[in-house]
Chain A
């Protein structure tokens, strides 16, 4: 971790701590900080995050970089049919940008990643205090590393199309009369397809000679672990709800004769809103 990263984090922490009391004054009037959406309801959580990102890649040579990251996340929960098996839907969209240095600080990497997954949830647990949604999910992920000191291998890419498992747990509690909710969510890849060049295969050759077939691999948890997890606290503020927490994105593979790994941990803060879906049918 670099000195500038530390100082940036310190400043950020001071700013957040200074404004936190203003935000975290829950409105006592609200009955709950978080409930599963009802029929024709949609819950949208938007957050931004800053954190620490690190990567290791062995394409051509060993590269270990770490630095800072910024992310934008949007999660939408909907209730399609409360009676059916997987009646709840969740979509997650995130964009992540990382800026990293190597250990001697002689090289720099840029990382850009787009991720989307959609899951259908089975209400495994539903009590007054907690909910647990479990279900299948499909994920699409596209990203790339740009090595600012590379030769013809300036950029490496990653792409995932996978099926996985998604879990969303919510625990509701009160401190005095103020309602809070603690949430933990996780997506994990189970099986799918991913891109990894065959040993030293130039990305340029994939395009020039159409060698995509050699670069597409079957991915499963064993050779390509991908986990997206987050823990967040939700508390009502006025008429809205504040959601803050931390998230972890881990993506790795050991395919094509080399290792790729990207890990990002971030502090996230945002808001939650509930929308009522209008039925315009006559």
Chain B
């Protein structure tokens, strides 16, 4: 009996081991070609990472005329084996800049490649000095990047410099309690480059009494430029356990509103009593992810796109309800055209609700 078992085992074990070895070997083989750490290898790797994972190619082709295959042909001519790292970095950054996407960055040990077209091609519509004058020195800090005060005409002013920090519910409650006497609230998110989407949701959820559809999201489910998953609805839930604000709100926007702030502005436009005032936001409607080149440089890119409630792209920004530019004379006089217009909007609404 033992001998039969021994024979059986001697036959079975090699068969199983052989199967496993073949399986491990086939799994270990490269599914995708691994690129060499050479200028051309790094160039091809970067182009391929973007080609397979970047989510806005169709939109960029439509808006900017970017043909990614043509971009490969054009920039590959600048790649040679003898080129140095800095030259390679420059060419790769120029290639990525074709997409004009602030979420696309190339990170090396000595520099971060970025596309700052939103800061260069459009009016700033913002002055840090003037805002500082409005805030004075007696403003309240509700958390890092959250500053507020009550303006003389009894209007609350909240400047959100960044959504990196997520204030606690009690801090937001304290802020709304202090501004309870105000007739309206101005939320200034100009030049806010984004941050944590939870922070934006936390703040937005204080301005609605009911569940609101604010947009859709999806992700890439394959390497093709149009391989997207089905759209998932994004709903904003009211914060039923904390203080909510139902008085008029004016949100000040400019091209510097990017990424999470772009998303915040998109959410706010669907809420009652909210008016968007200023310039179209900068965009950044894709959730950024990162990949790595053979030489260790990392590339960040938009991978999962978001849409508004009408299923339209917000990558190009969110348009305001009331379009406004900063007035040069106002700037010289130290007056913020946006804040003054927002005060007027709120005061008019109080008189003519």
Contact = CB atoms under 8 A, between A and B. Distances in A.
Given A58-B32, A261-B27, A165 B9 contact: no
A62 B45 contact: yes
Given A60-B303, A106-B297, A225-B27, A200 B5 contact: no
B290 A153 contact: yes
B333 interface: no
A251 to B, nearest CB: 10
Given A61-B49, A62-B32, A153-B289, 16 more contacts: A104-B37, A104-B294, A104-B295, A106-B109, A106-B295, A124-B5, A125-B9, A165-B16, A167-B13, A199-B221, A199-B222, A200-B53, A202-B287, A209-B217, A211-B232, A223-B27
A165 B45 CA distance: 40
Contacts of A152: 287-290
Given A103-B296, A107-B292, A132 B219 contact: no
A62 B290 CA distance: 11
A32 interface: no
B19 A61 contact: no
Contact of A63 (B8, B35, B292, B303): B292
A61 to B, nearest CB: 3
Contacts of A257: 221-223
Contact of A58 (B27, B31, B294, B299): B31
B227 A199 contact: yes
Contacts of A127: 2
Contacts of B297: 106
Interface residues of A, number: 51
A103 B289 CA distance: 21
B83 interface: no
B227 to A, nearest CB: 7
Contact of B304 (A105, A202, A258): A202
Contacts of B28: 252, 261
Contacts of B31: 58, 254, 258-259
A224 B24 CA distance: 8
Contact of B20 (A124, A134, A227, A253): A227
A122 to B, nearest CB: 9
A82 interface: no
A221 B19 contact: yes
A274 interface: no
B27 A124 contact: no
A225 B35 CA distance: 25
Contacts of A153: 289-290
Interface in B271-326: 287-300, 303-304
Contacts of B137: none
Contacts of B219: 198-202, 205
B62 interface: no
